[in-house]
Amino acid sequence: MKLSPERRYEIENALYLGHHNHRCSYLPDRMASLLYLDGSLDAATYRELLDEGYRRTGSGLYRPDCAGCQECRVLRIPLASFSMTDSQRRVWKKGQRVFTYSLQKPEFDPKKLRLYRRYLLYQHRTYESDLDEQGYREFFVSSFLGANTKELVLLHNGRPVGLSIIDIVEDVLSSVYFFFDPDVARYSPGVYSMLLEMHLAREMGLAYHYPGYYIEGCPAMNYKARFGPAEILSGEAFTPVPGR
C-alpha cells in the first residue's frame, strides 16, 4: 500500500542524508539525481518505501529524484502467478544440473572481492580498484535489515561462481545485487539466479519478487519484464506489464 504524502515527508525529513548528482548510468544522455536516506528504520517501514521507489545500498537507501524523468519504475513479480518461458525453463533445468547453492549470512572473503572484480571487467569493462575490503563490506555485507539480508552463493563443482545479495522484507524477496564468474557465463547465471531467488521465495511463502528498477529504454534493465506476468507501479497502483 502506498504511503501517504505526509508519512513519506515525515520519513524523508527525519532520515535525509543528501543528493548525489551524476550522469545517468542507464540513459547516458541524461543527468541523474539520487536522494539518500540513513537506514535507521525497520523492515516494515522499508517494505513501505520499496513501493515509493527506494532501494537499499549497504546501511542506507536511495531513490531516483531526477527532474523531468521518471523512467526508473518499480517492478514486481507476483510469485503465485509466475511461470517460466520456454527459454527460462531451459536455463533452469541446465542450472539445476550444474549449480548447487548456499544461503547464508553475508560475509567478506578475498575470493569474493576477486570474483566481483572479474565480473566488472567482463560485464562492464571496468575495474574498481579502489574497492578494498572495507568498500566490499560497506556495499555487500552491511545492512540495516540485519538477519533479513542473505547471501545466495552459486557453486559449480564446489567452487563459488556467483553471488546474490537479497533482502527478505515482510512478504517480499528483494534482489539487491548479483555478480558471477565469467567462466560460467554460458550457463546464463544471471537468469538462473533470478529464477532460483523466486523459487526460494515461493518456498518461504512470500508473495512477491522485486528485481530492481525497470527502465523501458535500457536493455540492461528492461529484461526483467520477461519474468512474469510482472506488474509495474503506475501512479497509486500496480498494473500488469504487457507482453513478455
> pLDDT of 29-49, one tens digit each?
999 999 999 999 999 999 999
Q: Average pLDDT, whole number, for the chain?
A: 94
Instruction: List Cβ neighbours of 220 (8 Å cut-off, separation of 6 or more).
Output: 26
Of 140, 213, 205, the C-alpha closest to 172 is 205
Q: Where are the alpha helices (DSSP H) in 56-186?
A: 86-98, 110-124, 133-136
Copy the grid coordinates of residue 25.
548510468
- β-strand pairing of 60-64 with 55-57: antiparallel
Q: Categorize the per-residue pLDDT at 23 as very low, low, confident or very high, splitting at 50, 70 and 90.
A: very high
Q: In angstroms, rounded to a whole number, what is the distance separating the alpha carbons of residues 99 and 116? A: 18
Query: Hey, where are the domains in the chain?
Result: 79-209
Alpha-carbon span 244 to 94, nearest angstrom: 22
What is the CATH topology of the domain spanning 79-209? Aminopeptidase (3.40.630)
Q: How far, CA to CA in Å, does 240 sit from each of 6, 14, 162, 244?
A: 28, 34, 31, 11
Give the list of residues 6+ apart from residue 240 with CB closer than 8 angstroms, or none. Answer: 229, 230, 231, 232
End-to-end CA gap in the chain: 26
Q: How many CB atoms lie within 10 A of CB 110?
A: 9
The pLDDT tens digits for 89-144 are 999 999 999 999 999 999 999 999 999 999 988 887 665 556 889 999 999 999 99
Cβ partners under 8 Å of residue 30, min gap 6:
23, 24, 66, 69
- Report residue 59 as a C-alpha cell: 546501511
Joined grid coordinates for residue 195 = 529464477
User: What pTM was estimated for this model as a whole?
Assistant: 0.94
Answer yes or no: is pLDDT of 209 > 90.
yes
Count how many residues are written for the chain.
244
What is the per-residue pLDDT across 229-243, written as a single tens digit (0 to 9) for each? Answer: 999 998 889 999 976
Closest CA to 191 of 122, 76, 90, 114: 90
Mean pLDDT value of segment 1-21? 92
Task: State yes or no: pLDDT of 52 exceeds 70.
Answer: yes
Identify the bridge partners of residue 167 per DSSP, sorted by sequence position.
149, 174
